[in-house]
Amino acid sequence: MADSLLPAPLYRLSLNINAIGSAVEELAIWVEQRGSTETSDAVKLHLETLIENAEFISEALVEPIAREEEIAKPRCGLLLLVLHNVEKVLCRLHAQWQRRVLPL
């Protein structure tokens, strides 16, 4: 029973990580535009940690959700789809960050 309650809060945690990462990314871009590239580079390193952890959480949620799928198939299928979309958004944000921070 406790296992079935775990994916929902972890999913919310994953969403929070994504939101924090996006907010910090915007602040880092703002800082970089004002000339503080050292600070921006430091923030970039921390953002990479957020991204890695969000990816890990998303991947870790797949198995418990899949186990629940036999019990609540429609809900879990939707949750897997949402997690997949969150991961795609996170990857897109990371790519945008790379384009803004790294010179071409």
pLDDT of the residue at 104: 44
CA 83 remoteness from chain centre: 9
Prediction pTM value: 0.54
Domain count, the chain: 1
pLDDT of the residue at 102: 54
pLDDT > 80? residue 28: yes
Q: Residue 45 is part of which domain span?
A: 2-101
Please state the rounded mean pLDDT for residues 63-76: 63
What are the two backbone dihedrals, phi and then psi, of residue 15, each rounded to the nearest 5 degrees? -60, -40
- The radius of gyration of the chain from alpha carbons, rounded to an integer in Å, stands at 16
Predicted confidence (pLDDT) per residue in 40-50, tens digit: 888 888 888 88
Are 10 and 71 contacting, i.e. CB atoms less than 8 angstroms apart?
A: no
First to last CA, the chain: 51
DSSP assigned state of 102: S
pLDDT of the residue at 5: 64
pLDDT > 70? residue 58: yes
Mean pLDDT, all residues of the chain: 75
